[in-house]
Amino acid sequence: MDDRVPSSEQRTRRGPATASKAASLVLSVAATFGLAALFARADRQQSVAEGIDEGIDDADGAGSAGTTALTPSPAGTSTVPVGELPIADGTYDGDAFTNRWGIVQLAVTYQGGQIVDVAVLQYPDSDRRSVSINQRALPSLEAAVLAAQSADISSVTGATITWRSYRESLQSALDAAAAASAGVQG
């Protein structure tokens, strides 16, 4: 695990006209294993640490197929550690690569060092369909809570809840209200 975490924290800076050999190497690796290497995985190390904190066994070799995908890039390439060099604003086209279904090409737009848009330039069988991504700012916490209180909703979708946390959840409040209203009708 240790030998792949640092490399997974590296980001390949993809300038519109800087298709270096190293970048091609990274993307050819991505072509083999899907879209993984195109984006930063800055929180991988944190994720793994979190898993250990949770007492979950971090099974080394769980993705044995993937271990070769993120071997460190050769020295002197254009990969840089995340956080040291912010990505300049702009839209970056990834190289087109071939996965088992056909040719895939993505474009990523950065603003202020963050991804603000991902567009699919080419994807197998997707030419009949727009695949650009829409986005909004999330409501503030206050607005979100207000929305939950005032919205007439049937149910709540969210990360899988535990029995313990259910008792304090929005869903349990909805369930209790539904049971109460049924009691009034009955």
CB of 51 to another protein, least distance (A): 4
CB 43 within 8 A of CB 4: no
Q: Which amino acid is at 86?
A: P
| 4 forms part of the interface with another protein (CB under 8 A) | yes
Q: Which is nearer to another protein, 76 or 186 (CB)?
A: 186
**Footprint of another protein on residues 116-145 (CB under 8 A)?**
116, 118-120, 123-126, 129-141, 143-145
CB of 100 to another protein, least distance (A): 8
CA distances from 124 to 53, 68, 96, 116, 154 (A): 40, 25, 12, 24, 38
Q: Which is nearer to another protein, 21 or 83 (CB)?
A: 83
**The Cα angle at residue 89 between residues 87 and 90, in degrees rounded to 5:** 110
User: How many of the chain's residues bind another protein (CB under 8 A)?
Assistant: 94
User: Which residue has 């929180």 as its token pair?
Assistant: 43
Q: Which is nearer to another protein, 88 or 147 (CB)?
A: 147
CB 7 within 8 A of CB 74: no
Which residues have CB under 8 Å from 111's CB, separation 6+?
A: 89
Reference 2, options 70, 65, 53; nearest CA is 70
CB of 42 to another protein, least distance (A): 8
| 3 forms part of the interface with another protein (CB under 8 A) | no
Using CA atoms, how far apart are residues 126 and 132, in angstroms rounded to an integer? 11
Using CA atoms, how far apart are residues 117 and 132, in angstroms rounded to an integer? 8
| 152 forms part of the interface with another protein (CB under 8 A) | yes
User: Which member of 19, 25, 48, 82 binds another protein (CB under 8 A)?
Assistant: 48
Q: Which is nearer to another protein, 21 or 65 (CB)?
A: 65
**Footprint of another protein on residues 66-85 (CB under 8 A)?**
66-67, 69-70
User: Which member of 3, 56, 81, 103 binds another protein (CB under 8 A)?
Assistant: 56
